[in-house]
Amino acid sequence: MLSPAQSPYAPVITTSGNSISQASQASPSRIERIKLDIGYEVWTKRVGDGPIKVLMLHGGPGFSHLYLEPSFTANLLSDDYEIIYYDQLGSYNSDKPSGPEARHLWTVERFLSEVEEVIEKLQLDNFVIYGHSWGGLLGIEYALKHPKRLKGLIISSMTSNIDDYIDYAYKLRSELPQDIQDQLQAYEDRGEFENPEYEGLLFKELYTKHICRLNQWPEEAVQSMEHLNKEILNEIQGPNEFVYTGNTRNWNRTADLKNIATPTLVISGQYDTMNPEKMKEMAELIPNATGKICANGSHLTFFDDTENYFSTIKEFTSTL
C-alpha cells in the first residue's frame, strides 16, 4: 500500500545506471497485451529467458510496473531469471476504465481473477510470484488458492492483516511532533486529502522516513506516483494510510498463513510502513518461509537497501 503524495519535496532524478531506458536496453524484451475475459486489455513485458520465471505484482493499488522495472532488471536479471512485468487493469500501459460504472472492477476478487488470467494466457507454470505491498496481498491470495502452481512466493512489504497496517501507521504518526500531528488532523477533518500542503507534510514527515529514505527519490518512483490511478486507490484503500475507507478495510489472512504450502520469502525494511515485527511473525506462521528485515530499508527497500534486498532474493530463489 503506497499513497499518492505529490510534493515539491520529491525531486525527480534518474538512479545512476538504473534508468528505464538503460534497463530496457540491457536485455531483449517481449511486450504482449492480454485481453481479459471482461473485454479489457492489460500490458505485460517479459525480460530475460532464464529458468526462474518471476511474475511481478506491483503495489498501489493503482500504481504500475514503473517503480519496479529499472531496479529489478539491473540487479536481478541474469542468465538465471526471466522477469515478467505487468500493469494491472487501470494502471499506466493497461486499459483504464473509470467512473461509477467501473467501481465493481476494483476488488480483491476481481484483481485475483485477473492475475489468474494473466498467468494462464502467458502459460506460466512452476514460477515465482513477487508481490510488493498491494501486490503482496494478491500474492498471498493466489498462493492460498493455487498452492501447487507456484515454485516460490516473495511477499515484500505487506502485512497479512489490514488492522496491523493501520495500527502501525498510527504508531509512526504518534512519533511525529505534536504540531505536525495537529496540522495533519486539521486537513483530514476538512477532507482536504489532495491539498498540496497536506500531501507535502505527509511526504516530508512520513514518506521520506518510511517509504524511501534516499535524499533524492529515483525518477521511476516519482513517475509511478505521477501515473497513480487514484480511483482504484480510493476504492480499495482510501486516500492514504490514515484514512483507510476502502473495501479491503477488513482484509485479514493471518489465520490462513499456515495453509500457504509454497516456499516463501517475507522481506521488508526496518523502517517500513509495515511493522517489522508483524513481518517476522508472518514468516514464522507460513510453514516453509524465510524472513528478512533489511536493516536500512523502508517500504521501497530495493532502492534504499539495494544490495541486502537483492542478495536475499537471489539466495532464496537459488534454493527453489
Catalytically active residues are 133, 272, 299
Q: Where are the domains of the chain?
A: 20-317
pLDDT tens, residue by residue, 46-97: 999 999 999 999 999 999 999 999 999 999 988 899 999 999 999 999 999 9
CB 294 within 8 A of CB 308: yes
- Confidence bin at 302 (pLDDT 50/70/90): very high
pLDDT of 256 over the 70 cut: yes
User: If you average pLDDT over residues 234-244, what whole number do you get?
Assistant: 88
| pTM to 2 decimal places | 0.91
User: If you average pLDDT over residues 12-25, what whole number do you get?
Assistant: 36
pLDDT of 25 over the 70 cut: no
Report domain 20-317's class: alpha beta
Q: The C-alpha cell of 87 is what? A: 500493469
Phi, then psi, of 286 in degrees rounded to 5: -85, 125
> Cell 482504484 maps to which residue?
232
pLDDT of 7 over the 60 cut: no
pLDDT tens, residue by residue, 42-59: 999 999 999 999 999 999
Give the whole-angstrom CA distance, residue 40 versus residue 63.
18
CB 265 within 8 A of CB 241: no
How do beta strands 29-35 and 41-47 pair? Answer: antiparallel
- Confidence bin at 159 (pLDDT 50/70/90): very high
**At a CB cut-off of 8 Å and minimum separation 6, what does 318 contact?**
80
Give the whole-angstrom CA distance, residue 148 versus residue 265.
17
The mean pLDDT of the chain is 90
